[in-house]
Amino acid sequence: MQDWRTFLDTLVRHWREEAPTFDAEALRRAVLALPSPQDAVEAVINLEEAKQDVRPDGSYTVDFESARHEPAEQWLASHLPASLPILLLALRHPDHQAQMRVEGILYEAPTMEALPALLSALEFQPPNHYAHRSHLVPTDALKQLGKPSGEAAQVLIRALDHDDFRVADEAAVVLAEFATDDVLFDALWARRHRAGREDTYAWALMRAAEVRKDPLMRPFLQSMLRGDRFDSAGYHERIREALAGLPKATKHRPAAKKKKAAPKKKLVAKKKSAKKISRARK
């Protein structure tokens, strides 16, 4: 196993290099202040995939017998909130499977204290040339915290204009879940041109249609059906379901005209004339 202090330094370095405005040093101090910081850091180390026979192309075989991630997950989850600082640092764990397990723990135990780190993990992603280390954006953990508001909402809205399409797309995925909010939806819909070249953004808008059920989005969903970008198995079915969930536009029908009732005076006059005729016959 790696030296736990060296590994902790590695996590902090990743944050410093990729998200310089985030205070990773404060999290490091919180970890070192734990009764047993070594146990906490080693639990995070053990979240990674047990690899063997690693090949030059990066593929490998999983060694299930030596895997230690399950007890590590249990330890980290059971020691919350004390383990939260090391979990937040581990959002930039070198191992992709470990990142997934960290998000899973944060998803099951949502706390607003995690919000700044989660937003930073979305907004500041490693450059694409970091092929040796993947980066999981914790969108599920973010959505679990509920509708973003205040500065959190503004961070996500600003991210929709990011030059890195990965940042914009992941922000759209989060905002789409709360599309019933007019401000969040308007920001998402105003940038729908991104859906023309970014599939994830298009799917985010489709999800927004499922959530908001706004007939305004009908032409967009219909265009998704007509194109050939979303013809994989199950895609058309879901788009059609979203379309079926939109309320149908109601046509305005003019109110039916009421028939005018015959004037009562004329009816009375007719009755009187009928009585005169009958008397004349007598």
pLDDT digits (tens, 9 = 90+) for 194-237: 999 999 999 999 999 999 999 999 999 999 999 888 888 888 99
- Residue 68: pLDDT band (50, 70, 90) is confident
Tell me whether residue 134 is in a domain. no
Tell me whether residue 184 is in a domain. yes
Distance (Å, whole) CA 119 – CA 156: 8
End-of-domain residue from the set 112, 131, 164? 112
End-of-domain residue from the set 87, 112, 137? 112
Distance (Å, whole) CA 191 – CA 157: 10
Tell me whether residue 106 is in a domain. yes
| 155 and 69 inside one domain | no
| 2 and 108 inside one domain | yes
Tell me whether residue 232 is in a domain. yes
Tell me whether residue 139 is in a domain. no
Q: 153 is in which domain, residue-wise? A: 146-247
CA distances (Å), origin 91, targets 44, 166, 184: 10, 17, 26
| 106 and 150 inside one domain | no
Distance (Å, whole) CA 8 – CA 27: 10
Report whether pLDDT(274) > 70.
no
Tell me whether residue 277 is in a domain. no
User: Using an 8 Å Cβ cutoff, are 85 and 11 in contact?
Assistant: no
pLDDT for 277:
47
In single-letter form, the type of residue at position 7 comes to F
| 93 and 184 inside one domain | no
pTM: 0.80
| 51 and 153 inside one domain | no
| 46 and 103 inside one domain | yes
- Residue 8: pLDDT band (50, 70, 90) is very high
Count of domains forming the chain: 2
User: Using an 8 Å Cβ cutoff, are 75 and 65 in contact?
Assistant: no
pLDDT digits (tens, 9 = 90+) for 139-166: 999 999 999 999 999 999 999 999 999 9
